[in-house]
């Protein structure tokens, strides 16, 4: 049985590796920043997690999860996303409110609880942010890779998820008139600053590159060749 803190370290490590699969492992500073602690603190915890055989770590080396550590981390992500779905679907929370509460709920220890919750929600595949929910067996589908920022001028796509989960960003997304499953047409793209002009539900608006990089999209299959962008894993 791990502590809240230990669980959060594992979760952060998984999140870091999922966000950038070409990388072989995380760094101490990176992990510390993700958890909002100081690097010295992370070093201490890494020693502890190594002794529990949950992370592969050696001095000055790259950090990665062991198979056991990854499995544990996936379970936490599963709980997080199921709780987010519960709050959204059953308790009418908005998509920008669910994350904060799920950060607490993800640490509740009860296998039965999470199994029953999954059943109660009728085995959802996606959370309110469009992220895939790992199955009870610990299978975590590869997340979406293409962002709105990568869509070519004139092309259409569908919004499937968000990268940034902060309430500020999510509220802004709603304000711009966007949401999961919306169809987006990229009307134009400024070459100077990559400002995008997009059309959603007949409404035209402009979004920054930073914004566009946090919107995951899929493009119609026939529009795209089997892309080499989909990395191994």
Would you tell me which residues interact with DNA (CB under 7 A)? 3-6, 27-30, 36-48, 57, 59-61
Nearer to DNA, 43 or 66 (CB): 43
Shortest Å, Cβ 208 to a second copy: 31
Q: Is 101 in the site for a second copy (CB under 8 A)?
A: yes
By a kind-dependent CB cut-off of 5 to 8 A, residue 111 interacts, out of DNA, a second copy, Mn ion, none, with none
Residue entry with tokens 């060749």: 225
Contacts 24+ apart (CB under 8 A), 226-231: 229/145, 229/146, 230/142, 230/145, 231/21, 231/22, 231/145
Tokens of 119: 């059943």
Q: How many residues bind a second copy (CB under 8 A)?
A: 18
Burial class (CB in 10 A: 0-12, 13-18, 19+), 49: buried
Within 113-172, the residues that bind Mn ion by CB under 5 A are 127, 129, 131, 165
**End-to-end CA distance of the chain, in Å?**
28
Report how far residue 157's alpha carbon sits from residue 148's, in angstroms, rounded to the nearest whole number: 8
Q: Is 99 in the site for Mn ion (CB under 5 A)?
A: yes
Shortest Å, Cβ 85 to a second copy: 14
Residues found near Mn ion in the complex (CB under 5 A): 84, 99, 127, 129, 131, 165
């Amino acid at each position: 049985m791990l502590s809240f803190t230990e669980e959060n370290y594992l979760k952060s490590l998984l999140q870091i590796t999922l966000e950038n699969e070409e990388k072989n492992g995380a760094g101490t500073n990176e992990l510390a920043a993700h958890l909002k602690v100081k690097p010295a603190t992370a070093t201490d915890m890494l020693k502890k997690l190594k002794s529990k055989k949950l992370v592969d770590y050696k001095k000055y080396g790259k950090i990665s999860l062991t198979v056991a550590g990854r499995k544990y981390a996936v379970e936490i992500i599963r709980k997080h996303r199921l709780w987010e779905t519960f709050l959204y679907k059953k308790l009418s929370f908005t998509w920008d409110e669910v994350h904060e509460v799920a950060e607490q709920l993800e640490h509740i220890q009860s296998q039965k609880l999470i199994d029953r919750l999954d059943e109660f929600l009728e085995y959802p595949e996606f959370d309110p942010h469009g992220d895939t929910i790992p199955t009870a067996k610990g299978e975590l589908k590869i997340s979406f890779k293409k962002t709105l920022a990568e869509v070519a001028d004139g092309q259409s796509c569908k919004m499937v998820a968000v990268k940034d989960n902060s309430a500020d960003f999510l509220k802004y997304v709603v304000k711009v008139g966007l949401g999961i499953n919306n169809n987006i047409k990229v009307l134009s793209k400024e070459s100077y600053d990559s400002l995008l002009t997009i059309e959603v539900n007949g409404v035209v608006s402009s979004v920054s590159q930073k914004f566009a990089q946090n919107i995951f999209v899929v493009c119609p299959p026939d529009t795209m060749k089997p892309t080499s962008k989909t990395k191994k894993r």
